[in-house]
Amino acid sequence: MTILDGKKVSNDIKNEIGAEVEKMKQRGEKVPHLAAIIVGNDGASKTYVNSKVKACERVGFESSLFRMSSTISEIELLDKIEELNQNDDIDGFIVQLPLPPQIDTQKVLNAVDPDKDVDGFHPTNFGKMALDMTTFIPATPFGILELLERYDIPTKGKHTVVIGRSYIVGRPMSILMGRSGFPGNSTVTLTHEFTKNITQITSQADIIIIAVGIPDFLKGEMIKDDAVIIDVGITRVPDDNAEKGYIIKGDVDFENVSKRASFITPVPGGVGPMTVSMLLKNTLLARERHRVRNSEKQL
């Protein structure tokens, strides 16, 4: 059994991006600029956004963080998004989810300029991804593809089972694993909480990608020997014996599943670190697109 070490691969990617930014500086080019909007005081969101800011510092990006009150109106938030859309200095930005109940999340995501949508959530980018066109791939699925590629895990002709159908992970993953090329060319089954006889399906899978947010959902008896397991779940589970009062668990019963798997991602340290690195990679792609477009305008 091989651990898919997202922490190590993430560091490799950051080093590669940092080297690219250094070359940009030497050529006298503008370095990438990533911005984030965070609404309210959600602890997990704060931690995640802070990790993005630190990652930007490490690779030499500029970064901006806009903190908004949890009582902000939808109109005010949309005005802020439009301001960032019009700001030529910002190459890409994200609106950290979840948003408070008074705000329509889909309306907010639709308001982001697709050329700056480095999260890959805008319908234009999602549609392009589904059509196998060049676009921003959502950061978590992009990170999973990168792990499969860097560990050279065969996907052609394999049966991939995706558990969970969110537009952030499950749905894009089901499209990407079935696309032409590598990683891809697999036969995909998309399952969710209402799927009947799910063990019958998972026990036939060569690759399982799970993102349901239910700790220990995937048990050892639900997989076949030598399956590849990608665990996207991350849940704080109360534990009086833990220093912080909780432990972090994935969607996979790691102890038992790892005994049968050929490759598996740990939680934490698997898919999580990859998400931030691929967000940086999308921002680098956005900067390059904007540079090309600006040079074409000057011709």
What is the mean pLDDT for each group of 10 consecutive residues in the chain (299 residues)? 97 98 96 96 82 94 96 97 97 94 96 97 96 95 98 98 96 97 97 95 98 96 98 92 91 97 97 95 96 80
The Cβ of residue 37 has, within 10 Å, a number of other Cβ atoms equal to 22
Phi, psi dihedral angles at 18 (to 5 degrees): -60, -40
119 is catalytic: yes
Q: What is the DSSP string of 126-178?
A: HHHHHTT-S-PPPHHHHHHHHHHHHTT---TT-EEEEE---TTTHHHHHHHHH
Query: How much is the pLDDT for 293?
Result: 86
Residue 96 among the catalytic residues: yes
pLDDT the model gives residue 299: 64
Choosing from 5, 91, 119, 206, the catalytic residue is 119
Cβ atoms within 10 Å of 233's Cβ, excluding its own: 23
174 is in an annotated binding site: no
Q: Note whether 189 and 161 are within 8 A (CB).
A: yes
pLDDT number for residue 45: 82
Q: What is the pLDDT of residue 48?
A: 84
Helices 271-298 and 139-150 cross at an angle (nearest 10°) of 110
- Is 200 in the active site? no
State yes or no: 184 annotated in a binding site: no
Annotated binding-site residue? 164: yes
Rounded Cα distance, 106 and 121, in Å: 9
On whether the CB atoms of residues 24 and 62 are closer than 8 A, the answer is no
DSSP secondary structure letter of residue 246: E
Contact 223, 203 (CB under 8 A): yes
What is the C-alpha R_g of the chain?
20
